[in-house]
Structure 1
Amino acid sequence: MDDRERALDAAHRRAREFLGTLDDRPVWPRASLDDMLEAFGRPLGDHGPDPASVVDEMADRAGPGLVAIPGGRFFGFVIGGTHPAALAADWLVSAWDQNSGSSLLTPATVAMERVAGRWMLDLFGLPPSASVGFVTGGQVANFACLAAARQAVLARVGWDLPERGLRDAPPLRLVVGADRHGSIDRAARFLGIGRTEITVIEADDQGRMREDALDRALERGSGPLIVCLQAGEVHTGAFDDFDALIPLAHRHDAWVHVDGAFGLWAAASPSLRALTSGVHAADSWATDAHKTLNVPYDCGMAIVRDPAHSIAAFRTGGDYLIYSGLDPWDVTPELSRRARGVPAWAALRSLGRVGVADLVDRLHAHALVMATGLASIDGVQVLNDVVYTQVMFRLRSDEATRTLGEAILREGTAAVTGAEWRGHAALRCSMSSWATTGSDVERAVEAIRSLV
């Protein structure tokens, strides 16, 4: 117990030291992977130091290779910081060490996850009877939802997938937008859905699926059908027109899945809820709490309207397992796992309905200010309509845009990440962190202005 207490004390002290550096530390790492391999890569000795010394050694060596993601000036990818309640709850999750696949084995953590799921369904305006499976992130959430979808649409045409497998199964059509996230294609590959089975629908200039193009595509085919829509295009933040597209897909007996990794949270804001109008009519939804809700990594949600479809896809057997109605392992691919939904419960409990709405609104407001500031810089072009939390911009040439992106990361005041949009280089700024302030946005804009 003494070793445990000393190690925890060291971790607490070094965590606070790191968090205290965020205002001044360069946002992007100052060391390369090779530097870090050299720092950590000494041969494993026959005997090791005490646990507290190991913690101090980790912190001493890791510093230059750490990204200031928990701070207010990390705008790369779509990565939120960690809300204080969620961070503290995550420490307790590790200390409690509960294997949270079974509600009989670990009722406290499963209860918190189940309540957090109910709260999210309420915030999103989704059916309260839907299942919420806590998975590692948006990628596995899309996979889990599409696994349930595959099971359901094949069952509709009389194919028993668990019994007969995919060999000789009726051909399945997966319909996606031209600007879908890559995790959709990757999930399809995991599920045995090949490229020839994917139909790509044309998108408009903001990345929204075109209704007329979807209509034509659905008229041309038949058989088991899944249509994937999007809440929050990763470059522009745009939302598909759910009011038009979901009824259209359902008229063709499609399962409709919505990838809402960060965008589904717009439904929690009265001022932004219109972006998700009609999304409740879909059959499954994927989202990720480590993004907009700002909980630690390893907390995605696979939401399925009818839990029976998830159970059919994932429920396992085993005479040594303990079952009690609907368990977490019934609706996700995992058996053993940590209580990843507990930090989500803590963040929601700390924020409340108003706090969640304020968080989403603040992220949107910061994006608008960032876009206005960038547009005021001579030579900078903002490429998207800033309807949510994403800002995409470029200079006049691809070469200059890429050079600016490298310079921003090297200078260190802020972090934005590069992208390709409509065949040209772009830079992408995502407002995702609860810790971002107006001052952070102003500092970032002025640093970019100076670099330009």
Structure 2
Amino acid sequence: MENSLLGLQAEAFSNGAARGVRYLKQLPDRRVGPNLSRLAELDPGLPEQGADVGDILDLLETVGGEGTVATAAGRYFGYVIGGALPAASAARALLSAWDQVADGLTGPSVIKMEETAVSWIVRLLGLPEGTDGAFTTGATMSNMALLVTARDTLLSRLGHERGEGLIGAPGLRIVASAEIHATVLKSLRMAGLTTKSIEWVEVDDQGQMRIDKLPELDDRTLVLCQAGNVCSGAFDPFDELGDKCNAAGAWLHVDGAFGLWARACSDTATALKGLEKADSWVVDSHKTLNTPYDSGLALCRHPHEMQASMAIGATYLPATVSNPANRAPEFSRSARGAETWAALLSLGRQGLEDMLSRFHGHARRISGDLTALGFEVPHEVHFNQVFATLPGAEDACARIAGHVQASGEAWFGQASWKGRQGFRISVSNWSTRTEDVDRLIAAVAKAKAEVMAPA
């Protein structure tokens, strides 16, 4: 009976994989935007008797597939999502069959892959020796894990030990870039820290923190900066920030969900000088490395402090067995770090640099082509982000973005930055080719001509 049941599972797995293959092969020619006309069919009512696997996959492939945004396609330039490298995508398929829990007792091989991936990333990003971390569901949870660690460490240094809670705790100061990402603020609140009294630091015309506007720091200060402004892609001045934080005993945290990878590319690495002076860093594999989702990574130069804040401490868990739950919020979770291991192994150092350099090159070209079409890009192209607006007709940018989305040729979204309305183009997919950029620019040119045509 058991062999028969496992045979059914294997057959279903193969059926689902075959449909996934069909979807991937259709991506170069399909529209990027979704078809929403049949979504109601996904709620046929919960049946009394279970449905056949083949029927479920039929519904999933047709109605479900039509309703997807083709973020895996090279013509998706919306949120910094990336695609999934072949090795990473294949690894996820195999890992779903293994169904391993990321724990040394229940998944020893996948834990080895995760630990190896972390060590590779620490070296690729030039972080201090001894830096360690853990994979999470994404940048938000990675930020939370590290902000809890920073909170506990700063309070402990002030005599308020871990486990005492926040009631009666000394007050901490939070100093942050005026353009820090909203998910960092959400993570602060989840860590029990207020966002009402943040000491905001002005940014320059590129979105970088101004050191001359930094307040005096002390040993109860948590400083929040970023690698990769969400609109301009710019990097905060880590070298000077790190020196000031280290001199004051403040904790410097870097949110680098997509931008931290720029440190591994010779074209952009110098802009991240001094990154190693921080105390903690967040990076996300899916955003720029092109692994599937759920691949956030929390990195800390004080792993003993991270473990002190995150360790679960269950009596039935051997202390000598490696367990990511000791460095992250989740207890049991999938072996998501193995996909990052597969992605890095498939690229190698040179392949990673080549991919990052392509992102930067495509972004520079897009900026130039948009400028030639009459748009304004009010920032340098620091990495893979391009914010564009239309002088004298900023309100038309949302309509232009909507026109391109409706055409199915490409996908990007409207945005606002520094009080100006426009749209944002992010280049983060390994499969984006010159031809995809050609189609993007042609779609924008057509949209602009039609939106701006006299009534």
Please tell me the TM-score bracket, short chain as reference. Answer: over 0.9
Deviates more, 1:277-286 or 1:319-328: 319-328
Report the Cα distance in structure 1 between the residues aligned to 2:330 and 2:50, rounded to whole angstroms.
Answer: 33
Correspondences of 1:335-350 after superposition (within 5 Å): 335-350=331-346
> Given residue 78 of structure 1, which amino acid in structure 2 is its aligned partner?
V
Q: Deviations over 1:327-370 (max 9, x none)?
A: 21110001100000011000001100111111110110111111
Number of residue equivalences: 442
SS of the counterpart of 1:356? Answer: helix
- Matched residues in 1 for 2:240 and 2:322: separation? 34
Which residue among 2, 6, 11 is the counterpart of 2:7? 2
Provide the C-alpha distance between the structure 1 equivalents of 2:17 and 2:183, rounded to a whole number of angstroms: 35
Pick aligned residue for 2:383 from 366, 380, 388: 388
CA distance in 1, matches of 2:228, 2:321: 34
Task: Give how far 1:104 is off.
Answer: 2.7
> Equivalent residues in 2 for 1:10-29 (5 A)?
10-29=15-34
1: CA distance, partners of 2:422 / 2:378? 8
Given the alignment of the two structures, is residue 200 of structure 1 paired with residue 205 of structure 2, yes or no?
Answer: no
Whole-angstrom CA distance in 2 between matches of 1:451 and 1:405 = 8
Q: Taking structure 2 as the reference length, what is the TM-score of the superposition? A: 0.95
Aligned-partner SS, 1:226: strand
Structure 1, gaps ≥5 residues long: none
Deviation at 1:153, TM superposition (A): 0.7
Give the Cα–Cα distance (whole angstroms) in 2 for the partners of residues 12 and 43 of structure 1: 26
Match of 2:148 in 1: 147
Whether the 8 Å CA contact 2:143–2:255 is kept in 1: the answer is yes
Tell me by how many angstroms 1:325 deviates: 5.6
Q: Which amino acid aligns with 1:383?
A: P
For structure 1, which segment, 117-126 or 14-23, has the greater mean C-alpha deviation from structure 2 after superposition? 14-23
Deviation at 1:323, TM superposition (A): 2.8
Whether contact under 8 Å (2:174, 2:221) holds in the other structure is yes
Deviation at 1:66, TM superposition (A): 0.6
* Contact preservation (8 Å) 2:105, 2:321: no
* Paired AA for residue 140 in structure 1: M
CA contact (8 A) 1:229 1:258 kept: yes
**How far apart are 1:103 and its partner, in Å?**
1.4
**Is the 2:42–2:59 contact (alpha carbons within 8 Å) kept by the matching residues of 1?**
no
Query: Could you tell me how far apart the structure 1 residues matched to 2:31 and 2:262 are?
Result: 30
1:290 is matched with 286
Aligned ranges 1:355-434 → 2 under 5 Å: 355-378=351-374, 380-396=375-391, 397-434=393-430
Aligned twin of 1:104: 105
CA RMSD of aligned residues (A): 1.3
Task: Tell me the CA shift for residue 105 of structure 1.
Answer: 2.6
Counterparts of 1:196 and 1:300 in 2: how far apart (Å)? 27
The match for 2:124 is 123
User: Aligned to 1:48, what secondary structure does the other structure show?
Assistant: coil
Deviations 1:106-136 (A, max 9, x none): 2100000000000000100012311121001
d(CA) in 2 for partners of 1:155, 1:225: 13
1:326 deviates by 4.8
Q: Partner amino acid for 2:435?
A: S
1:111-190 equivalences under 5 Å are: 111-162=112-163, 164-190=164-190
Residue in structure 2 matching 1:229, options 215, 225, 232? 225
Asked whether the equivalents of residues 10 and 56 of structure 1 are also in contact (C-alpha less than 8 Å), the reply is no
Separation in structure 2 between the aligned mates of residue 18 and residue 43 of structure 1, nearest angstrom: 26
Determine the structure 1 residue equivalent to 2:83. Answer: 81
- SS class of match (1:312): helix
- 1:59 is matched with 61
Partners of 1:62 and 1:104 in 2: CA distance? 37
Larger displacement relative to structure 2 (4-13 or 423-432): 4-13
Counterparts of 2:309 and 2:437, CA distance in 1:
45
The code of the aligned residue for 1:297 comes to: Y
- Asked if the contact 2:378/2:388 (under 8 Å) is kept, the reply is yes
Letter in 1 for 2:185: D
Map Cα deviations across residues 424-450 of structure 1 (whole Å, 9 max, x no partner).
212000010000001100110011001
Secondary structure of 1:381's aligned partner: coil
Contact 1:130 1:304 survives alignment (8 Å):
yes
Q: 2: CA distance between counterparts of 1:2 and 1:161?
A: 50
Compared with structure 1, are the counterparts of its residues 130 and 326 closer, same or farther at alpha carbon in structure 2 (3 Å cutoff)?
A: farther
Retained in 1: the 8 A contact 2:32–2:410?
yes
Contact 2:413 2:423 in 1 (8 A): yes
Take 1:269 and 1:384, find their aligned partners in 2: how far apart are those partners?
A: 20
Partner SS, residue 222 of structure 2: strand
1:129 match: secondary structure: coil
Q: 1:128 to 1:251 in 2, by over 3 A?
A: closer
Q: Is the 8 A contact 1:104 1:324 kept in 2?
A: no
Looking at structure 2, the residues matched to 297 and 184 of structure 1 have their Cα atoms a distance apart, in angstroms, of 19
Q: TM-score, normalised by structure 1?
A: 0.95
- 1:450 maps to 446
- Cα distance in 1 for residues equivalent to 2:213 and 2:79: 29
Letter aligned with residue 176 of structure 1: A
